Structure 1
């Protein structure tokens, strides 16, 4: 039994239509109600509008990505009870509509980070790049977060200082805008660029975590799970937390979903199949301590959604994205472990045996240069990845059978 082929779709504004997805062999659509502000309730009416659109093209709404966790929940501020009540109601409403998997994250302020959104590969393709010294240059010398230099190795700070000195004011502004606004805008980020001083607003959000270290953020995540998982369980919905991207502290903010130990800890906070994980090879692989195949074998029964993509790792903690099966991440044992987990579920008699998988990000190539798309989400590059992953999967399935 193959994994369920899914695709991230950004709604009616997405240049890739639902009809296109059907032609591409997509079975499940991954999407969200992007027009509803963070912290507000997703009504049955609004959910059904999107669900009916998807089903009219003979596909299903496979996974919600994402039902955003508001900053007030992560910081457990005075608005927590209202926000958690709204989150619970959204989960209930999704369950009523037959949407049974919700991807979310618990990353403070920033959902993900890249320093170059248009890095050119030797073959002319274009991917996203994370350059650690450049990011430190942004944090310490452009954003000028107080005491930022203390959070990074001295040699990286020195490289960052030199990079900042060599940048023009226009280059500094572009770097800051890309990190704070462009990468976050299509995933309901905290700063949308409408503020005249978006960097100052961004620093204000970071400052809300000044008294929240990793241990305290873990406490807040545990409280969230204990409030929401029982509701999800009753609604027939499975929650799946997305790992940190990148999986190490940035901007002085704690990261608590970065390692196998983190994922195992999360699964133990509320012992229910409804408390699960989004298994993302792109994110988890950046932390070199992670054994990606071992993670599948450790928490496989809690993997409710899978993002597959590859990276090329460089010195100084830098990396750039690449295709889906070629790179420094060995996709063969990972795919094999996922298929074995799915077979185990079938043997166990689980009705939710099927694991949705989507090609995460992709190389901008060919006709992608004539289309607009969110960073990391070109059509042709992801379609190539879907085909490659499907071929790898078929070969492994034949071998296992």
Structure 2
């Protein structure tokens, strides 16, 4: 595996020299300040590459921009409304500009409205560490009582809806604002932050779009962009839904094995691939992550390795982000499956025999608790995660236990 690190640019409190010291050799980043649907220019791409390549004192970092995460797919494309055709044309131009810069792996997602959803960005654990958490009862309280989505209560089991009502009745204004902010929070530097009015507007437009229609729209998008990516030697890799089950009545199309089989088979090309995110997919108890790696291995172009601890066996249930080796996913078995795929690619002579991975998210521990950085992206917590994952990989390689 090629060890990489997500970085949000010069304003990220984690510096490039910190990334080097953590043991990563590549960077995963994006032009978060460019609005969705707008072309990523060659100059902007070159500027970010230069920022990755130097330390804060101006000396070379030795790092390279290895993976784009993400080149966003606009809501217009997902809904096939408004300027969606112009946005697809811009997407193709951005792909050409990234290829010209030598960047070959492009991660993206096809989640409607919200890129990811948590109800608590700093959930305190018994150890004193904090992590991100999704609580189905708090989310239902938001959906039913804060957002006031029509018919929302019927989308939850009666006991969940009842508990949501109890919790909502106890919330003061500050608690309500904090919950809404947690759910609608975007990535650092993003131009696509949401408020409740904008969420409601998107929900109204998605009202007539079923999961089957969204899947068709997704395949239409891939039919347009995958041939361009294949011609350029790029590897597109779709990130799963996070969490991988329906929310707010919105359709979901990348949540399980069936979804990935439909999308990867719908436009069958080496350029149409998967970002295997063990945390997102692991939030569903019916997703077997090592088996998914074995099934889709040839088209896995990028790895997000993190773990979650589920509260129970519900498909749409609560979970929090656990230590990388301590959640409900068998991370040792998953990494063994990755190493089997890499060995197979090596025999085939594939240039991408080493799959880029990054330690996804992480708990805030020790100095992280005083830094006040981006939730989910702490320095020390991710450094610990990368060290643990590298240790598992080294042990499996040296013993040959992955074969």
TM (norm. structure 1) is 0.95
| Unaligned runs of at least 5 residues, structure 1 | 193-197
Cα pair 1:239 1:277 within 8 Å, conserved: yes
For the residues of structure 2 that align with 1:169 and 1:74, how far apart are their CA atoms?
Answer: 34
- Aligned pairs (5 A) from 1:224-235: 224-235=221-232
Does the 8 Å contact 1:110/1:189 carry over to 2?
no
CA distances 1:116-154 after superposition (whole Å, capped 9, x unpaired): 111111111101111101100000011101111122222
- The aligned counterpart of 2:76 is 72
1:108 pairs with one of 109, 112, 117: 112
Query: Would you say 1:17 and 2:15 are equivalent positions?
Result: yes
- 1:191 — aligned with what? 193
Any residues of structure 2 matched to 1:112-151 within 5 Å, and which? Answer: 112-151=116-155
Matched, 1:165 2:163: no
Report the more deviating stretch, 249-258 or 285-294: 285-294
List structure 1 runs of 4+ shifted beyond 6 angstroms. none
In the aligned structure 2, how far is the partner of 1:189 from the partner of 1:158? 36
1:29 aligned partner: 27
- What SS does structure 2 have at the residue aligned with 1:347? helix
2:238 and 2:273 in contact (8 A); partners too: yes
Post-superposition offset of 1:360: 0.5
Name the CA distance, whole Å, in 2 between partners of 1:185 and 1:296: 27
161-170 vs 250-259, greater mean Cα deviation: 161-170
Aligned to 1:305: 302
Determine helix, strand or coil for the equivalent of 1:129.
Answer: strand
Rounded to whole Å, the distance in 2 between the matches of 1:372 and 1:237 is 36
1:213/1:167 CA distance change after superposition, 3 Å = same
- What value does the CA root-mean-square deviation take over the aligned residues? 1.3
1:202 deviates by 1.6
When the two structures are superposed, what TM-score results if normalisation uses the length of structure 2? 0.95
Give the structure 2 partner of residue 318 of structure 1: 318
Are the aligned partners of 2:32 and 2:191 in contact in 1 as well (CA < 8 Å)?
no
Cα 1:349–1:239, aligned 2, differ >3 Å: closer, same or farther? same
- Runs of at least 5 residues in structure 2 that lack an aligned partner in the other structure: 54-59
1:233-382 alignment runs, 5 A limit: 233-315=230-312, 317-382=317-382
Query: How many corresponding residue pairs?
Result: 392
Structure 2 Cα separation of the partners of residues 129 and 115 of structure 1? 6
| Cα contact 1:109–1:190 (8 A) shared by 2 | no
User: Which residue of the partner structure matches residue 195 of structure 1?
Assistant: none
Distance 2:7 2:17 in 1: 12
202-211 or 275-284, which moves further after superposition?
A: 202-211
State the alpha-carbon separation in 1 of the partners of residues 377 and 95 from structure 2: 27
Given that 1:191 and 1:202 are in contact with CA atoms closer than 8 Å, whether structure 2 keeps it comes out as no
Q: Aligned equivalents of 2:189 and 2:265: distance in 1?
A: 28
Report the Cα distance in structure 2 between the residues aligned to 1:283 and 1:273, rounded to whole angstroms: 23
Q: How much does 1:190 deviate?
A: 3.5
